[in-house]
Chains A and B, each alone.
Chain A
Amino acid sequence: MIKELKILFAIVVIVLIGYYGIEDLAHHEMYGNIPKPDFNYLDLQYDIKEKGNPQNGENLFKQNCLSCHSLKVKNLKAMMDENTAMHAFNVVPPDLSNRANIVEEHFLFNFIKNPQNATKNPKFAMPPQPQLTDKQITDIVSFLKTVAKKDIQGEEIIEDACTRCHNIKYQKIEAHTNPENLKKYLGKIPPDLSLKGKSRDKEYLVAFINNPQTVLPGTSMPRLGLTKESTEKVVNYLEHIADPHKEERNKIGMWVLIYMLIGVILTYSWKKKIWKSLK
């Protein structure tokens, strides 16, 4: 008995060392250096200095943004329809209804000032807006903040931030922009997101969404400036759609383990009984 436990112990130790070496150690060596995300976007230089005026912002929005962007919450349609915009920019411009609650404020301000710099993507489709003063940008940001929905779900954020370029095939979501245009815009068709929650771990996804260039230098994915909360919601949603049976699995798993434990007890008592009669 003691001897068998010793053998078992030796096997368990060897297996655990192997498991640790292959999984934790090797994975850390290979994928370990994921940069820490920065949700304050501190590398961006311009600061919001004063409080914005939403009324002013609304007018400025109509004059400057509405040519390409719609604002569904206010029933404002873009002057350019989606198709024309897609052919002009090779990507569909987003509706801005909930933008200000998805994107971090400081980032948004810098983004309007200089999209290429903020997204770290020199080919980013939206042109810089030199005609706007800092005060005016602040007004637009504060206007967008007042219209944006507060409690926004992961699915809606994905719809808003990701599916203009990405397919999510298993959810029957197709990118809003044509593949040919995307190819012209980004150089290649962006990957499908159906299983990203499974093919990448959480830490990687968060860091990548936060700042694509630091994780995958040279990628054509722009930095979108999502807040910490939005990023987490997006990642949780991706994990959920990639592994929809997780809850069911855990529940059934518990029952199966309890069942097996009963089996262990039963078979052990039978074994003991039979071997006792031998002696």
Chain B
Amino acid sequence: MRFIDWLDERLEIRKLIKVSLTDYKVPKNINFLWSFGMLLVLTFAILFISGLFLLMYYKPDAKLAFDSVNKTIIMDVSYGWLFRHVHAVAASIVFLLMFIHIGRGIYYGSYKSPREIVWITGYILFILFAATAFTGYLLPWGQMSYWAAQTITTLFEKIPFIGPQLVIWLRGDYAVSDPTLTRFFALHVTLLPVLIMIVMGIHLYSVRIVGSNNEDGKPIDKKKEGVPFWPVFMSKEFFVMSVFLLFFFYLVFFKFDFAMDRVNFEPANPLQTPTHIYPEWYFLAFYEVLRGFFFSQNLGLIAFALSMVMILFLPWLDKSPTVSGKNRPLFQIAFWIFVIDVLVLTILGKLPPTGLYAWVGFFAALVFFGFFISLPIIARIEKKQLEGDKK
């Protein structure tokens, strides 16, 4: 008996391959943007493996952390620098991939019924990745690590009644210090990656159930219009992956600065704030929403919290019967304004919030919410048009 038959008898391996790969049909009219899910899985794997090798030399102790990263790992361990660079660049790039993945979902209406669970699990993954990135950023214990953690945890202080106590509880001290480092470390290397893997599993499973959306947003007759995931779609996927990896390794070897800020090569100093502090680029848009309401701190905080959750409610904000944005001229306008707005917010997030920048920031923050408010209105207009056409 062949080994595959032996396995098949015990695990129904053939059926599994059939269901998940060869018989799993995806629409033919999907472009390379639909490969970004697999790219994200790939990048997560890269993060996991490179992180594992960093973990072997990293020391989660406020006295040792900085040197263990910058001396032991980067200078002494053979190829330690490679794993460090790969991890840092992948942690940054995973957000670029996620933003494109989400952007594609919004443009082609992939959040709409029946794909709400896909959308919700995707949103949870985004939050989990953000938490992982935030906890991981503290670990090198450089100036930027330290002050990012210090300022972001301070945000919780503004929560009514429990705020001040909550912040001390989060940090385990009156300021960010060794206990904060060790608990962030624990979350970063165990709980958060495990949660990511579980939610990722549900996310992929739910896509297998409801099927991929496509450019036209119309459900396909899988027997006639679908192509098998393996080998047809995977052949394209491999191509996209190798192009991505070419770009990724170019960044790792020759352009890693964007993911490893210079300031973070200064050891953390609780008594001296760097002249400029800013979050990593993927948090800048949300950070700018916070700063945009420069005249009121409380309003800024509420806006910040809202900006992080708004996207979760897309399936219920946009009830238009037309799925794909490709066939929705009004929605397209709103979408591109939104994309440009996020870009503007991101850039402003790193510029000093003074003078003109402050006002542009305020305006851009309003536009950010404007997009979500416009969705039900656009949907209503489109419904009326459709009814009009029928008559």
B239's contact among A3, A18, A267, by CB below 8 Å, is which? A267
Known: A15-B96, A22-B281, A22-B350. A267 touches B241 (CB 8 A): yes
Whether the pair A257, B276 counts as a contact (CB closer than 8 A) is no
Whether the pair A278, B232 counts as a contact (CB closer than 8 A) is yes
B343's contact among A7, A18, A252, A274, by CB below 8 Å, is which? A18
Which A-chain residue is minimally distant from B71 (CB atoms)?
A170
Residues of chain A lying within 8 A (CB to CB) of residue B339: 14
Whether the pair A271, B32 counts as a contact (CB closer than 8 A) is no
Residues of chain A lying within 8 A (CB to CB) of residue B81: 245, 249
Whether the pair A26, B347 counts as a contact (CB closer than 8 A) is yes
Whether the pair B250, A257 counts as a contact (CB closer than 8 A) is yes
Residues of chain B lying within 8 A (CB to CB) of residue A195: 70, 265-266
Whether the pair A260, B249 counts as a contact (CB closer than 8 A) is yes
Give the Cβ gap from B357 to chain A, nearest Cβ, in Å.
Answer: 9
Whether the pair A257, B266 counts as a contact (CB closer than 8 A) is no
Complex CA gap A245/B253 in Å reads: 11
Residues of chain A lying within 8 A (CB to CB) of residue B28: 278
B33's contact among A7, A198, A274, by CB below 8 Å, is which? A7
Complex CA gap A248/B74 in Å reads: 13
Residues of chain B lying within 8 A (CB to CB) of residue A267: 235, 238-239, 241-242
Q: Indicate if B161 sits at the interface (CB-CB under 8 A).
A: no
Q: Indicate if A242 sits at the interface (CB-CB under 8 A).
A: yes
Whether the pair B232, A275 counts as a contact (CB closer than 8 A) is yes
Q: Indicate if A11 sits at the interface (CB-CB under 8 A).
A: yes
Known: A200-B262, A245-B81. A11 touches B100 (CB 8 A): yes
Q: Indicate if B220 sits at the interface (CB-CB under 8 A).
A: no
Q: Indicate if A29 sits at the interface (CB-CB under 8 A).
A: yes
Give the Cβ gap from A252 to chain B, nearest Cβ, in Å.
Answer: 7
Whether the pair B263, A199 counts as a contact (CB closer than 8 A) is yes
* Chain A interface size, under 10 / 10 to 19 / 20 to 34 / 35 or more: 35 or more
Whether the pair B100, A275 counts as a contact (CB closer than 8 A) is no
Residues of chain A lying within 8 A (CB to CB) of residue B343: 14, 17-18, 21
Complex CA gap A22/B257 in Å reads: 12
Whether the pair A25, B232 counts as a contact (CB closer than 8 A) is no
B residues 10-51 in Cβ contact with A at 8 Å: 28, 31-33
Known: A17-B343, A18-B281. A270 touches B253 (CB 8 A): no
Whether the pair B232, A274 counts as a contact (CB closer than 8 A) is yes
How many residues does chain B have at the interface if contact means C-beta atoms less than 8 Å apart? Answer: 51
Known: A11-B100, A260-B245, A275-B235. A21 touches B346 (CB 8 A): yes
Which A-chain residue is minimally distant from B33 (CB atoms)?
A7
Q: Indicate if A42 sits at the interface (CB-CB under 8 A).
A: no
Residues of chain B lying within 8 A (CB to CB) of residue A7: 31-33
Give the Cβ gap from A146 to chain B, nearest Cβ, in Å.
Answer: 40
B residues 236-285 in Cβ contact with A at 8 Å: 236, 238-239, 241-243, 245-246, 249-250, 252-254, 257-258, 262-267, 275-276, 278, 281, 284
Q: Indicate if B75 sits at the interface (CB-CB under 8 A).
A: yes
Which B-chain residue is minimally distant from A204 (CB atoms)?
B262
Residues of chain A lying within 8 A (CB to CB) of residue B249: 253, 256-257, 260
Q: Indicate if B351 sits at the interface (CB-CB under 8 A).
A: yes
Q: Indicate if A46 sits at the interface (CB-CB under 8 A).
A: no
Whether the pair A25, B265 counts as a contact (CB closer than 8 A) is no
Q: Indicate if A244 sits at the interface (CB-CB under 8 A).
A: yes
Give the Cβ gap from B234 to chain A, nearest Cβ, in Å.
Answer: 9
Q: Indicate if B231 sits at the interface (CB-CB under 8 A).
A: yes
B265's contact among A15, A199, A249, A263, by CB below 8 Å, is which? A199
Complex CA gap A200/B263 in Å reads: 8
Which B-chain residue is minimally distant from A29 (CB atoms)?
B351
Complex CA gap A170/B100 in Å reads: 41
Q: Indicate if A203 sits at the interface (CB-CB under 8 A).
A: no
A residues contacting B by CB (< 8 A) are 3-4, 7-8, 11, 14-15, 17-19, 21-23, 25-26, 29-31, 169-170, 191-192, 194-195, 198-201, 242, 244-245, 249-250, 252-253, 256-257, 260-261, 263-264, 266-268, 270-271, 273-275, 278
Given A11-B100, A21-B350, A199-B265, 15 additional A-B pairs, CB 8 A: A4-B31, A8-B32, A18-B347, A21-B347, A22-B346, A195-B70, A198-B262, A250-B253, A257-B246, A257-B253, A261-B246, A263-B246, A267-B238, A267-B239, A274-B231
A sample of 14 inter-chain contacts (CB < 8 A) reads A21-B343, A21-B346, A22-B346, A22-B350, A23-B258, A25-B347, A30-B276, A199-B262, A245-B81, A256-B249, A261-B246, A263-B245, A264-B243, A267-B238
> What are the 4 tightest A-B residue pairs by CB atom distance, in nearest-first order?
A253-B253, A21-B347, A26-B350, A199-B265
